[in-house]
Amino acid sequence: MQPGDVFFIPAGRVHAIGAGILLAEIQQTSDVTYRIFDFGRKDALGKERELHTTEALDAIDFKAYSDYKTNYTSTLNAPCEVVSSPYFKTGLLDLNQPVVRDYYSLDSFIILICTEGMAKIQYGQEGVEEIRKGDTVLLPADLRQVTFVPQGTVKMLEVYLP
């Protein structure tokens, strides 16, 4: 795996997150998690967490795929769609100059997750916020236009409802 790799994991696909991995896990709302192995971890009371192996058998997608990685091609200073599902869309903004984003056609909030660098987010007449690597910013649905002003190079995930 390399920085910037994307893996879209639909429901039913068994997966685990290894040590030393920093990731953004974007998912649809769900109250169900089937834990089939837990690496010996304990809960807050020191007990091993419950496994759900029987329940998981009915939900697992047992099909083997030739490639699990999501391929995309980033374009500097333009939005790049990375994942499109019925539940959410995720794009990448790879910027090294100011870019205006119009969100007029969306009927959704936008979640920005900064994965590299730093930028200023300008909105309205005088609004300015900063976003840095590791930060998440929620843009409300009624904010229809912003200008991203990168300080050097910045990469951000842009997540919203379709």
Torsion angles phi and psi, residue 100, rounded to 5 = -95, 130
Contact 139, 101 (CB under 8 A): no
Q: 35, 101, 132, 144: which one is catalytic?
A: 35
Burial 25-44 (b: 16+ CB within 10 A, else e): ebeeeeeeebeeeeeeeeee
In the chain, the DSSP E strands lie at: 79-84, 89-95, 99-102, 110-116, 118-123, 127-132, 136-139, 145-150, 154-160
Q: Three-state SS for 154?
A: strand
Contact 149, 162 (CB under 8 A): no
In 11-51, the DSSP E strands lie at: none
Query: Rounded to a whole number, what is the distance in angstroms from the first to the last CA of the chain?
Result: 29
35 is catalytic: yes
Catalytic residue numbers, as ranges: 35
